Structure formats: structure tokens, C-alpha cells
Amino acid sequence: MSSYVGVVVSDPWLHSQFTQVELRTLKSKFNSNKTLLDRFTVGDLPPVLAKLNAFSGTFDEDEIKSVLDKSYSNTSDQEVDFETFLRAYLSVQARGVEKSGGSKASSSSFLKTSTTTVHHAINESEKASYVSHVNSYLRDDPFLKSYLPIDPATNAFFDLVKDGVLLCKLINLAVPGTIDERAINTKKILNPWERNENLTLGLNSAKAIGCTVVNIGTQDIAEGRPYLVLGLISQIIKIQMLADLNFKKTPSLFQLVDDTQDAEELMGLAPEKVLLKWMNFHLKKAGYEKQVTNFSSDVKDGEAYAYLLNALAPEHSSHVALETKDPTERAKKVLEQAEKMDCKRYLSPKDIVDGSANLNLAFVAQIFQHRNGLTDDSSKSTSFAEMMTDDVETSREERYTESNVSEDATDEGDANSVTGEISNLSLDEASESSPIVQDQELLTKADEDKDEVDGDGENNNDA
């Protein structure tokens, strides 16, 4: 088996400006145009670059020619190699950033600009939260415990993820049994082939449980690119935190609806939408007059949290948080109250006030896990369950499949989609439909077949 080798650029700085997915896409464009034009020159660059999705609708040929003339004014007949093509691309991209007022998030941009490497612009609070999560949930793992705890103030987290073991372990935490752990290479020192096997297994499995893995490849993880790594890890942890937000795990969720039609609609919602519905269910009963529609601006004053915790844990109830006028002080009181419910502190008061969507979602999900406040009305849950058909579950799986087919067909999508919404496929369905299923049954069946063969060498080999 040969190891995967990414696109290599001789200039280290130039190489660092692109992910492997970007390099492969641009390499493909370069090769196709070189074949088509026979002799690919600087003069051919404007029409070629203007057709790229990254610049379509932002630049026309004349604008691109104007940008390139600053660097290639007297070299229109010079033949273009791949590195020249990349530098021309970065020049136009940099002009695009200036044109959009310095925004790196324009729809026409890739992940990086020619002057700023976005992979350093990571959310340190989220990084610290994910490191804390790993330290807590994997501290007893036979292989990883020798590397834990990780210091969030260092880059040890990104170094540890490079061999793919941590990625695979987190996936099995999110959806147990997705990966047969015997397939994970867990030696102290892995060769390139073994490391690539782990990373390929991890990425395929991440996609199987519902993560968006567009614009990230094995080479990006092997290089420990912080922005891409955190984007993928956040999705996996999000799936784990929302694992109970389905009717198989928590039948009492049927209390959020009044009839079968509402139940069907609820079953069709993404887990985070169900979590919002659950939160508003309790807030309404607690007398909170507003509707929470997101985990950012609607919770940043901490007031909704104060009402929610008072409703779910009256034994720890305190009106101090509600009476506090300063949002930061109120957020401190809210976290103190949550800790009394044994909720781990994965976010800070500042994260609440700043409206960090990912961390606030994880906080609410953790409250749900510890105390959802729903009574075990088995008669109502059973009644709704019996009236449900498989149509809703089937349509959700179809939407998940269509979503992934669409992602696979997109070569040059928005790089920020790596941190996009998780598929509506339920976690139980993801586990059941995963192509990376455990091969325990296959191995057992093979052993049984082998025992049944009475010395026939050929049949033994087939078994």
C-alpha cells in the first residue's frame, strides 16, 4: 500500500498559504489549461483566473490583468509554471481582500490571503474548551493517557492530532462503535503509511457520522493546521454533546409537543434546533417572556440562563443572578450555579457575554445531559412512538445523503464550510449507516467458517 502524497510546492512560504484541498484544485486547473493551451503564458492568466469560482463575479479579465501588470508587466510571453500560477492567484486574492475592505470572509476568498495566514487566527477560548474536553473524556484511554492532560496554552493539542489516533478516539466518543479500534494504528512512532491510514479512517468516519469535511484532507491534519483541525474537532464534539437530542435516547422529548403532527416536525429538526425548543419549553414555564432563537446574541446577557437554571435546579435557585445588572457578573453567577449541578466549566463568563455560539451551545447541551427537567411520561411517549412512521426518519437519511453527494461534487466550495452546520441525520442513524462499521461480526463469521472446514486448504484460504 502506498502512502498518500499531497501536492508539493518547493517554496515553503508559498506552500503554507494553501491547504492541500486548495492545492489539488488549483493544480487540476493549472494542468487542464496547460494541456488546452499547449503553451501557458502570463498573458493567458487573466481569462483563466477570471473563470475560477473564487473570483467569478468579483473580477473581470481587465481587472485581473491590471493587478498582474504590476508584477508581470513585461513578461506576457513568459511561460507559466505552477508556482507562478499560485503567486498570480495570491496577487489577485490580495486585491480582492482590499476591495472588500479587508474582510477575509468574502464569498470569493479561499482560506488564506497572500499577506495573512488565517490558520493563526483561531479562537483561543474554543481551543481551551476542546482541550479541556479531551483531557476529561480521554484521560483513561489506554493509549492517550500517557499524553494527557494537554496544556491548552501550548500547541501540543495540534501535535497530538497529527497521527490520527486522537481523531479516531473522539469519533468513537461521539458515536460509539463507529470505528473498530483494532483498525487504529497506536504505536508510539508511526511510519507515514500507518499515519495516513489513521487519518483516512478518521476523515471517512467523521463524514459518516455527519461532519462536513469539505476543504480538509489528511495532509492538512498531518501538518496540524490549527484552523482546520479546530473546525473538524468542534463538529465531532458537537455531535457528542447533542447525542441525547433524539427520541431513541430521550423518549421524554415528546413532552415538548402536543400532537403527532408536531412530533413529526420535531423529529425532522436538527439536534441543535431541538435543544433550542427544549430550552424555550422550560423558559416559558419559568416566566421568561423572550424567545431564544440562537446560542449567541439571545443568551449573551445571561438572563435566559438564570431563568433556565432556576427552573431546572430549584434547590440551587438564587435570584442573585437575575438581580445582577452587569452581564459579566450575571454570567459568573450562572456558571457557579451550573457547577453545583456538576456541569463542567467549558466556557468563561466572557464567552457568554461575547456570544460564542459553539461554546454556549455546548454549555446548554451539557445542562440538558445533567438535568433535562422532563418527566418520564412513558404512556405519552409510547403513544407517540406507536403513531410514528418511518417516513420522517427515511427522509432525514435521504437529506443527509443528498447533502454529502452535493459536498462531494463541489471542488471549490467555501472553505469556511468546514465549520458549517452538522447534517440533520440523527446520531443513531449515523452510527447505523456508517460505512466504517465494526468488522467484529465479519471476523467472528470468518472464524466460524474456518472451524467448519475439515482441513480443506483452499476453503480455509477463502474463509
d(CA 199, CA 222): 8
Q: In whole angstroms, give the CA distance from residue 231 to residue 215.
A: 11
Is residue 408 in some structural domain?
A: no
Tell me what pLDDT residue 90 has. Answer: 86
Cell of 171: 469519533
Distance of CA 319 to the CA centre of its chain: 37
Q: Are residues 328 and 293 in the same domain?
A: yes
- Confidence class of residue 457 from pLDDT cuts 50, 70 and 90? very low
* Residue 444: inside a domain: no
For residue 257, the domain's CATH number is 1.10.418.10
Mean pLDDT of all residues in 229-237: 93
Grid cell listed for 429: 442513524
Residue 413, strand partner residues: none
Of 321, 348, 376, the residue at which a domain comes to its end is 376
Query: Quick check: 135 pLDDT over 70?
Result: yes
Quick one: pLDDT at residue 425?
38
User: Is 237 a domain residue?
Assistant: yes
pLDDT at residue number 411: 40
What are 307's three cell numbers?
Answer: 431563568
- pLDDT at residue 377, as a whole number: 61
% the chain with pLDDT above 70: 73
Average pLDDT taken over every residue of the chain: 77
Listed as own residue / partner, the contacts of 266-269 with beta carbons closer than 8 Å and 24 or more positions apart are: 267/388, 267/392, 267/393, 267/396, 268/392, 268/395, 268/396, 268/424, 269/424
pLDDT of residue 173: 95
Of 402 and 158, which is predicted with more confidence?
A: 158
pLDDT reported for residue 381 = 54
Q: Which of 190, 222, 242 is the last residue of a domain?
A: 242
Cβ neighbour number for residue 251 with a 10 Å cutoff? 18
- pLDDT in the model for residue 383: 57
In 112-150, which positions are buried (b, 16+ CB within 10 angstroms) versus exposed (e)? bbbeeebbeeebebbbbbbbbbbbebbeebeebeeebeb
Q: Would you state the pLDDT for residue 256?
A: 87
Give rounded-to-5 percent helix, strand, coil for the chain: 60, 0, 40
What's the average model confidence in pLDDT over 138-150? 93
118 inside domain: no
pLDDT-derived band at 240 (thresholds 50, 70, 90) equals very high
Dist CA 167 CA 31 (whole Å): 34
φ/ψ region of 57 (left if φ > 0, alpha if ψ in -120 to 50, else beta) reads: left
Identity of the highest mean pLDDT range in 258-262, 322-326, 424-428, 453-457: 322-326
How far apart, in whole angstroms, are the C-alpha atoms of residue 91 and residue 96? Answer: 9
Whether residue 238 is found in the same domain as residue 258: no
Residue 438 belongs to some domain of the structure:
no
Q: Give residue 303's domain range.
A: 251-376
pLDDT in tens, 281-305: 999 999 999 999 999 999 999 999 9
Ramachandran angles phi, psi of 385, nearest 5°: -60, -40
Give me the mean pLDDT over the 299-316 stretch. Answer: 91
Q: What confidence tier does 18 reach under pLDDT thresholds 50, 70, 90?
A: confident
DSSP state string for 39-90: S-BGGGHHHHHHTSTTTTTT--HHHHHHHHHHHHTT-TTSBP-HHHHHHHHH
Specify the pLDDT at position 365: 93
Q: Which helix (H) or strand (E) holds 91?
A: helix 82-99
Q: Give the model's pLDDT for residue 378.
A: 57
Average pLDDT over residues 5-10: 73
Confidence (pTM): 0.61
Q: What is the pLDDT of residue 201?
A: 95
Residue 288 and residue 178 in one domain: no
94 and 150 both lie in a single domain: no
What b/e sequence results for 382-416 when a residue is b if at least 16 CB atoms lie within 10 Å of its CB, and e otherwise?
A: eebeeebeeeebeebbeebeebbeebeeeebbbbb
Q: What is the pLDDT of residue 181?
A: 92
Whether residues 65 and 173 share a domain: the answer is no
Helix or strand run (H / E) with residue 293: none
Same domain, 258 and 231: no
Q: How many domains does the chain have?
A: 3
Say if residues 307 and 283 touch (Cβ distance below 8 Å).
yes
Cross-strand partners of 41: 79
Determine the pLDDT at residue 352. 93
In terms of domains, do 263 and 226 share one?
A: no
SS3 at position 260: helix
Do 131 and 65 sit in the same domain of this protein? no
CB under 8 Å, gap of 24 or more: what pairs does 102-108 form?
105/416, 106/58, 107/414, 108/53, 108/54, 108/55, 108/56, 108/57, 108/58
For residue 449, is pLDDT > 60?
Answer: no
pLDDT of residue 379: 56
* Burial (0-12, 13-18, 19+ Cβ within 10 Å), 62: exposed
Q: What is the pLDDT of residue 98?
A: 64
Q: Are 141 and 191 part of one and the same domain?
A: yes
- Which band of pLDDT confidence, cut at 50, 70 and 90, is reported for residue 380? low
The string of pLDDT tens digits covering residues 168-222 is 999 999 999 999 999 999 988 999 899 999 999 999 999 999 998 877 888 889 9
Cis before residue 226, ω within 30 degrees of 0? no
pLDDT score of 75: 67
Per-residue model confidence as pLDDT tens digits over 335-362: 998 988 888 777 899 999 999 999 999 9
Predicted local confidence at residue 100, as pLDDT: 56
Task: State how far the alpha carbon of 54 is from the alpha carbons of 49, 110, 411, in Å.
Answer: 9, 7, 11
Q: Which helix (H) or strand (E) holds 443?
A: helix 440-452
DSSP label at residue 243: T
Domain assignment present for residue 400? The answer is no
Same domain, residue pair 140 and 208? yes
Question: What whole-number distance in Å separates Cα of residue 453 and Cα of residue 353?
Answer: 68
Check residues 19 and 449 and name the one with the higher pLDDT.
19
The span from the CA of 460 to the CA of 11, in Å, is 53
Residues making up the chain, counted from first to last: 463
pLDDT at 161 over 60: yes
- 441 lies in a domain? no
Same structural domain for residues 338 and 304? yes
Indicate if 358 and 312 belong to the same structural domain.
yes
pLDDT in tens, 63-99: 888 888 777 766 677 888 888 888 888 888 877 766 6
The answer to whether position 414 is within a domain reads no
